[in-house]
Amino acid sequence: MTSSTIRYKRTTIKLPYNPRTGLCRVCPDKKLRKTNYHHWRHEFETKEVRKNPMLALKNTAELHYGHHLLANSLRDFVDMPFEILQALVETMDPLTKQNFLERCKQLAS
C-alpha cells in the first residue's frame, strides 16, 4: 500500500496507508481524481495526532471539493453563536428564509 497525507489543523500528517476510496460520501457514483477529508471536529491536539496519525481520520468524511466547501459552511453554521446565526437568518429575503427554515425542519424530522 502507498502512504498518504492528510491536513490536520494546518499541519500535514503522514498516514501509514492510503485510506482514500476516491469517492465522495455524498455523491459516490463518480470516481474522482482527488478527494478531501472534511474534519467535522478536530478532537485532538496536533501533537497527539503526530504520535498517532490515524487519529486524524476521526470525525472525518471523504468528500469531493464542492461538498467539502459545503461541509465547511455547515460546520461554521453549527459552531456559530446562536445570536449571530439568528441575526444572519434575519438578513435573508423572505423566500430564502422560508426555504432555509423548511430545510432545517426536514433535517430534524
Q: Which is nearer to Zn ion, 39 or 67 (CB)?
A: 67
- Amino acid letter for position 100: F
Of residues 31 and 47, the one with the C-beta less far from Zn ion: 31
**Mapping DSSP to helix (H, G, I), strand (E, B) and coil, where does residue 60 land?**
strand
> Shortest Cβ distance from residue 38 to Zn ion (Å)?
10
Residue 13: beta bridge partners? 6
State the residue number with the nearest CB to Zn ion.
Answer: 24
The CA-based angle 48-23-62, given to 5 degrees, is 25
Question: How many CB atoms within 10 Å of residue 57?
Answer: 16
Closer residue to Zn ion in complex, CB, 22/53: 22
Sign of the alpha-carbon dihedral angle for 62, 67, 70, 74: negative
Residue 64 Cβ, how far from Zn ion at the closest point, in Å? 4
Residues that bind Zn ion (CB under 5 A): 24, 26-27, 64, 67
Nearest distance from C-beta of residue 94 to Zn ion, angstroms = 30
